[in-house]
Amino acid sequence: MNKTIAGIIAGTIAGIIDLVPMIIQNLTWDANLAAFSMWFAAGILTAHNDMKVHPLMKGLITAFLCLLPSAFIIGWTMPESLIGVFGMTIILGLLIGWLANKLQKHKA
């Protein structure tokens, strides 16, 4: 499968997983859209980046780099919520790295 499609699929899946608890918490739609778009971008960037590291690390590094600008905003207003955000970023970053790698190896 080509890198872009693999990244879109991986990012969309991670975005949907991240949205579920956010919707349950009745967070604002701007926060939901920001989170989903971050995961969408992280998926594409993970699939396209050529870092010479394990795919799980590639996803993790890319996810944290994508989160960085939002982390300053979140941390400034609600620093305690960064614990959950970092937890989800670790889990979903690893998922994106693994999934993008598996999808790229899959013959479509």
Write down the domain spans for the chain.
Answer: 3-105
Structural tokens at position 108: 């479509």
Distance (Å, rounded) from C-alpha 99 to C-alpha 95?
Answer: 6
Angle, alpha carbons 49-50-54 (nearest 5°): 100
Q: For 64, how many CA atoms within 13 A lie in the half-sphere containing its CB?
A: 11
pLDDT of residue 108: 59
Q: What is the pLDDT of residues 64-105, one digit of tens each?
A: 999 999 999 999 999 999 999 999 999 999 999 999 999 998
> What pTM was computed for the model?
0.91
pLDDT of residue 52: 95
Structural tokens at position 8: 């879109």
Structural tokens at position 100: 């993008």
